[in-house]
Amino acid sequence: MQDGVIPHKLENLPLEDSAALRESIAATDIRALLMTYVHLSRDETMLDRFAPHLPSASLGGVPDPSDELLASLHERMRVLLTTPGAVPAEPMSLALLNRIMSIGMGEPVEDEFIPLLLEQTGLGPQHERSGRPARRSIPADYKVLVIGAGLTGIATGIKLAEAGYAYEIIEKNPEVGGTWWNARYPGVGVDTPSHFYSYSFELNPDWTTYTPAGGEMQDYLVRTADKYGVRTHTRFNTMVVGIRWHETDLLWDVTVRSADGTHSVLRANAVINAHGPISRWEWPKIDGLADFQGVKMHTGDWKADVDLKGKRVALVGTGASAAQCGPAIAGEVGSLTVFMRSGHWVLPNHIAGKPVPEMVKWAMRHIPNYLEWFRFSVYWTGSDGLYPNLLKDPEWNGGDLSISAANAALRDYCLHNLHTKLAGRPDLIEKLTPDAPVFSKRIVMDTNWLPMFMRDNVSLETAGIEHITPSGIRTTDGTDHAFDVIIFATGYNLARMTGSLDIIGRDGRNLGEEWGDEDPEAYLGLTVPGYPNYFHMTGPNSGPNHGAGINLLSEAQIHYVIECLDHLVENGQAAMEPTQGACDAFNARVQAQMPNMIWTHPKAKTYYKNSKGKVIVSWPFRLVDYWRESRAPQLADYDFHALARAMETVSP
């Protein structure tokens, strides 16, 4: 890797010494502004002056510089940006980069994180090649088929095109966006900060809030797809119903069904399944569901024409979608009863829904590198810095409701929020305090979720649901509750990772049968023995379940897939699949780590596990570990298939 990074957008300098510039500098985040300033100026003295005032960001520390020191930073930045030639164009050393990051965040940023951070912040190279010789011409008829045009599918198409591969995306919906096109319930939004939950190659300075609503996320994906021409490669309103490996031609036959019900077969050298884990909502298994005479709907299939005003509404579930939907409708319904099977830890989200000031957006558009450094600060506080909360400390003796000192501290933080928001309601505090450690299942962001329960028209029901009746819900204590509408916020089927797709591999192997309803295994959560050139994006045990976002995982896996395709093309090979031994070894390593993780705590009840208690969704190591392992395939872990036919080639 080149020893240094070059500031972006130097062609825009110098900036005019305007009121807008001064106001934007004053409105910026202190940490991000300091890091940007030192990056542009190489003035390390400001790091020394600010260091005592920047406590650990991961532990929630708030900068406390004096007004004089802050004014000095603002003035130095103004002069730097408005003085011709003041910003050096030569690369900055990685040693200085590391120092900027460490002091800026108030804690050490180890060297091993730097390559990932350079890529994911946009400060450095994007998806850097692994150092192999330039690939030869890609065959003219070489085609990659992508299933799904959601966040992962769009990025896959963009990166395939950049690498020179012809591709086609099959999308069941009439528009790109995937989850963000489907999810339309009131309050739907992103609970990962927007300035990180976006593509590293398409940073957006114009987010209107720090955690955008679902519609704004969808707009971002549509704009990105249009910018990179993804739509012209996408077949909409079409469903992939099955894929079958052709033993002789070493190609995939892909059967698709169009909107009019007609079937056709496409051929592809490789299939990338990006249908996404959050795409298969399902009704809960509750007796009497079909008997209800009112309106019932799932948050994953929202009925926008249903008028909730003044209605008696039941909300079944207390996970992420419930915590968004409930507060959004509580003010208009007549009554809202929330049915809780088990509680979720709720983390205060102080920026949720807060608007990004216009002057901050101005800084992100015009001040070189400020957007990238702000993205870094957001990522760092919500990624591997959280990993210690998931690791069991074998020496910990703090009881069975925490697993380490760090985990106990986070529990105290959440409890303080709970007691503060529900002050005067010990009954609610008791019901809403989970009987399990924080992070033992997905954390819920408190976007007015806890305050919602203080409303006069909202009640919490913790008795189990016995069955659905024609008029409502009967609970296990024998009480009948009457409702006009029942909303099920009961999640998705993540365990059956093949969904309804029929995947037939080499020698007639059937992936749906092999994985069954809840026992998927893959190599790196991505490739599977017996299924050559089949890549299952965000597959088993690859989930980043302690922080960051699915965007990082998707980009890492896309990089890996293209490295695999490049190897095949460069070496004249048709296909590759992991050996059974490599797959078994990978999964043994993953499962060997699980006893050390919070998800295997006796009190942990989470969809990350199957019914037997095996963790099938989560990656049990750090995000940087997965990123590093996905830089290039370990060729010794793969079997290769020789070309069965000659293919015409074209120039790059």
In tens, the pLDDT along 175-230 reads 999 999 999 999 999 888 889 999 999 999 999 999 989 999 999 999 999 999 99
Give the CA-trace dihedral at 324, 326, 329, 333, to 10 degrees: 180
Enumerate residues 6+ apart whose C-beta is below 8 A from 316.
284, 339, 465, 473, 486, 487, 488, 489, 490
State how far the Cα of 486 lies from the Cα of 298, in Å rounded to an integer.
Answer: 9
Cα distance between residue 483 and residue 648, in whole Å: 65
Residues 308 and 434 in one domain: yes
Q: What is the pLDDT of residue 1?
A: 42
Domain termination residue (choose one: 488, 513, 546): 488
**Residue 651 resides in a domain:** no
Q: Which residues contact residue 269 at a Cβ distance below 8 angstroms, ignoring those fewer than 6 apart? A: 142, 143, 144, 251, 252, 533, 574, 575
Asked if residue 457 belongs to a domain, the reply is yes
The string over 85-120, giving b where at least 16 C-beta atoms fall within 10 Å of a residue's C-beta and e elsewhere, is eebeeeebebebbbbbbbbbbbbebeeebbbbbbbb
Nearest to 227 by CA among 120, 154, 122, 147: 154
In a domain, 270, yes or no: yes
**Rounded to an integer, what distance in angstroms lies between the CA atom of residue 40 and that of residue 34?**
10
Strand order across the 465-469 sheet: 465-469, 472-475, 480-482
Contacts of 249 (CB under 8 A, 6+ apart): 267, 644, 645
Which of 254, 328, 277, 368 lies closest to 557 in space, CA to CA?
277
pLDDT value for 193: 87
Does 590 share its domain with 570?
yes
C-alpha distance across the termini of the chain, in Å? 25
HSE-CB at 553 with a 13 A cutoff on CA atoms is 29
Query: 293 and 247, same structural domain?
Result: no
State residue 649's pLDDT score.
39
Residue 245: its pLDDT value, please? 98
- Same domain flag for 40 and 152: no
| pLDDT value of residue 645 | 47
Query: Residue 321's domain is classified under what CATH number?
Result: 3.50.50.60
Tell me the one-letter amino acid at 477: D
- Residue 431: inside a domain: yes
Query: Is 138 contained in some domain?
Result: no
Residues 484, 502: one domain? no
222 and 244 housed in the same domain:
yes
Residue type, 581: G
Residues 6+ apart with CB under 8 A from 626: 542, 544, 553, 556, 619
Q: Is the pTM of this model over 0.75?
A: yes
Residue 135 lies in a domain: no
**Residue 129: predicted pLDDT:** 54
Closest CA to 336 of 470, 446, 486: 486
Give the range of the structural domain holding residue 590, as residue numbers without chain letter.
143-280+494-642
Per DSSP, the three-state class of 610 is: coil
Q: Please state, in angstroms and rounded to a whole number, the distance separating the CA atoms of residues 466 and 489.
A: 17
Same domain, 229 and 370: no
| Domain match, 368 and 475 both | no
Tell me whether residue 602 is in a domain. yes
Domain boundary among 438, 456, 488: 488
Looking at 488, 522, 541, which one is the last position of a domain?
488
Q: Say whether both 337 and 417 belong to one domain.
A: yes
Q: Which residue is it, tokens 């809030």?
A: 209
Whether 484 and 499 map to the same domain: the answer is no
Same domain, 295 and 426: yes
- Domain identity same for 240 and 201: yes
- Within 25-71, strands assigned E span none
Question: For residue 577, which amino acid is it?
Answer: E
Is residue 395 situated within a structural domain? Answer: no
Kindly report, residue by residue over 405-444, the tens digit of the pLDDT. 999 999 999 999 999 999 999 999 999 999 999 999 888 9
The number of distinct structural domains making up the chain is 3
**d(C-alpha 251, C-alpha 267), whole Å:** 7
CA distance 161 to 230: 9
Q: Which has the closest alpha carbon to 549: 211, 81, 247? A: 211
Would strands 465-469 and 472-475 be described as parallel, antiparallel, or unpaired? antiparallel
Q: Which residues pair with 338 in a beta bridge?
A: 315, 460
- In the predicted model, residues of the chain with pLDDT beneath 70 are 1-4, 126-136, 644-652
Neighbours of 548 (CB within 10 A): 22
How many Å apart are CA 103 and CA 53, to the nearest integer?
A: 10
